[in-house]
Amino acid sequence: LPPAMSPARRRLMLAELAQARHRATHADELPLAAAVRLADALGAFLDDLAIDGVDPAEVGKIDAGQYARHWEQVLAFLAIVLDAWPKVLAEADRMDAAARREKLLAAQAEAWRAAPPDRPVVIAGSTGALASTRALMAAALEGPLGAVVLPGFDPTIDDDELRAILAAPAHPQHAMAAALADLGIAPAEVQVLPGAAPDAAKANRNALLTEAMRPAATVGRWADIASAAFDQAVGHMTRIDAADEDAEARTIAVFLRH
């Protein structure tokens, strides 16, 4: 694969294309700051296409219905990345970093399926939020010594809770629930790492957080937590009333650094 284009170079080249487009359609100059903001948005759009495996040519086939006229204007602007950008990449012999990463992940998954490794393969710390990562997980689990370690997975989730979480993209367990569903693994099949079982205080804290973060569809199942269990759950937690969001952010940063 060609090497990845550096983020700074892509940003500036997309900004130049945005300025050229503006110059051609409005007959005046687009300020550099505005061009850079557009470049960032275009870059994020390119990365989304790569991550979701969408062929850029398919974007032009979207039926916008009553918004067709506005969509035509959007498409005219997106021509920067749908038409011009691939040519720029080809001339520079470069790839977008996200697209290159997706191809590498797909190639690794294919290699593992073709020749399962005879040594342990552990994928740890990923929630499986990306389709390519889930494919890599599936390929690893097909091998004789493959394992996936999910960070912070809640092993108390039942099937009903799983369905509710799958319908709630903002839920902190959503990505892992989607990965398990894609892999055909039930939550009950996920094992706790040996030696990682929580003590009573941590178990009570986990239960409290699980209840606090229930998806809207299951809030009717909110459980009454006994006073003793609640006191144990929050026993080592610190409450800080910040004056404003800035003070809150600074406080969190200090604790994280500590």
pLDDT score at 61: 85
3-state secondary structure 43-88: HHHHHHHHHCCCCHHHHCCCCCHHHHHHHHHHHHHHHHHHHHHHHH
Q: Are 204 and 230 in contact (CB under 8 A)?
A: yes
**Percent of the chain residues past pLDDT 70, beyond the cut:** 100
pLDDT at 41 exceeding the cut of 90? yes
pLDDT score at 44: 94
Which of 88-97, 163-172, 219-228 comes out lowest in average pLDDT? Answer: 219-228
pLDDT score at 255: 93
pLDDT at 224 exceeding the cut of 80? no
Q: Are 125 and 151 in contact (CB under 8 A)?
A: yes
3-state secondary structure of 17: helix
3-state secondary structure of 118: coil
Higher pLDDT, 17 or 225: 17
pLDDT score at 113: 93
pLDDT score at 199: 86
pLDDT at 117 exceeding the cut of 80? yes
